Amino acid sequence: MKNVSRIIPCYAADTSGVCSALYELGGMTVVHDASGCNSTYATHDEPRWYDRQSLIFISALTEMDAIMGNDEKLIADVVSAAHDRNPAFIAVCGSPMPMMTGVDFDAAAAEIERRSGIRTFAMHTNGTHSYINGASEALYTIAKEYVRDIPKAAGTGVNILGATPLDFGLGGTAASLRQWLHENGFSAVSCFAMGDSLDSLKKAASAKVSLVISQTGIPAAQYLFEQFGIPYVCGIPTGTEFSKIIADALKEAAQTGTPLYPCAIGNSADRGDITVIGESISACSAAAELHLQTGRKTRVICPLPFEPACMNGALESPASEEEIERELAAYIPEIIAADPLYRMICPPQAKFLELPHYAFSGRCFDKRIPDYVNPNLFRL
């Protein structure tokens, strides 16, 4: 019963991660799943659904199609829809039912591409992993499929990697980041993948450095580093103090060509006075700012997959409701910053700072999702 949650919800699933990451890029995302499930991926987990169109479809998999392994229906329907809509690309995602029947999405994608003439890729989701896995694979695939070597842009061009509403809602973080980069002498080359087009993303190799603002951007960052030598910096320029560290790190990485993980300072090796719960890079950035402001020891609990270097070398973190509850009760931090739905498993003595997270609480607190670049966000 290790992963059972009695009180808190689970994070958005991998399929939602793919849909979110690809939402603005002009492609067609098809989830091979039962009819009706589109509302999970495209409405409950997608705040842009109400005012911006995107081609997100469900294959309407039936029990008999699943039992009979009728891949042809999926392939023919996707090809037909692609002819009508002419998307820039097609992404085909799995869900629990095709996982159990062992659908070969790589082979189906190759067949769709052959028949439609449109670049098609399989997303290896199955609905049992977190949005981090799905969004990571989607952003990595876009980088791998579309970014080609081009001359560097003038000045210090920056790619923003790992921007999806699942981590930042529509709180303004992506737009504010562009402004912050401009004010600090950088320029935004691309943003994977909010507020930018596929054509802009194709130019990512002209950047001198990447800024990774969530774990979902790590595989794309590593690819751009290995393929084009573009180093990356992990962290969000949040608050008055940590933002200075990020600005310096971007300059240093661009100069030395070495990846840097400044957000790691937010996670001390042992239990802290201040604990932040959430996605690794945003939580570590918040913790780093709180640490710099107060001088207090800060610690991050990340129940999602993370890059150890972003978490100060940590190899694991409490992940289940039971583990998190037990861990917090064991040392009772003075302050806990987390999504409001965590409050119910936090010790009541701790002061609670709300950090709503769309991938965790969806629309419940969407108006209160912060702009992480707001300098006053973590002023205590």
Per-residue binder mask for other proteins (CB under 8 A), 70-89, x = binder: --------------------
Instruction: Please choose, from the candidates 229, 230, 228, 260, the residue with its C-alpha nearest in 3D space to the C-alpha of residue 247.
Output: 260
By CB under 8 A, residue 101 contacts other proteins: yes
Instruction: Please choose, from the candidates 122, 98, 100, the residue with its C-alpha nearest in 3D space to the C-alpha of residue 111.
Output: 122
Instruction: Please choose, from the candidates 340, 258, 354, 337, the residue with its C-alpha nearest in 3D space to the C-alpha of residue 302.
Output: 337
Per-residue binder mask for other proteins (CB under 8 A), 107-146, x = binder: x--xx--x--------------------------------
Give residues 9-48 in contact with other proteins (rule: CB under 8 A).
none
By CB under 8 A, residue 106 contacts other proteins: yes
* Least distance from other proteins to the Cβ atom of residue 71, Å: 9
**Choice between 294 and 320, CB closer to other proteins:** 320
**Choice between 47 and 303, CB closer to other proteins:** 303
Mind giving me the DSSP string for 183-227? HTTEEEEEEESSS--HHHHTTGGG-SEEEE-SGGGHHHHHHHHHH
Number of neighbouring beta carbons within 10 Å of residue 370: 20
* Least distance from other proteins to the Cβ atom of residue 226, Å: 16
By CB under 8 A, residue 102 contacts other proteins: yes
Name the segment binding other proteins (CB under 8 A); options: 51-59, 93-101, 141-149, 219-227: 93-101
Give the number of residues in contact with other proteins, rule: CB under 8 A: 13
Q: Is 50 exposed, middle or buried (0-12, 13-18, 19+ CB in 10 A)?
A: exposed
CA distances from 277 to 317, 338, 350 (A): 10, 5, 13
Number of neighbouring beta carbons within 10 Å of residue 256: 10
**Choice between 302 and 355, CB closer to other proteins:** 302
Choose which of 7, 52, 104, 155 interacts with other proteins (CB under 8 A).
104
* Least distance from other proteins to the Cβ atom of residue 101, Å: 5
**Choice between 94 and 169, CB closer to other proteins:** 94
- Give, rounded to a whole angstrom, the gap between the first and last alpha carbons of the chain: 38
* Least distance from other proteins to the Cβ atom of residue 146, Å: 23
By CB under 8 A, residue 100 contacts other proteins: yes
**Choice between 75 and 147, CB closer to other proteins:** 75
* Least distance from other proteins to the Cβ atom of residue 111, Å: 6
* Least distance from other proteins to the Cβ atom of residue 197, Å: 32
Strand ranges (E), the chain: 28-31, 55-58, 90-93, 120-123, 156-161, 186-192, 209-212, 232-234, 274-277, 298-301, 335-338, 351-354
Choose which of 6, 10, 52, 69 interacts with other proteins (CB under 8 A).
69
Interface residue list for other proteins (CB under 8 A):
2, 69, 99-104, 106-107, 110-111, 114
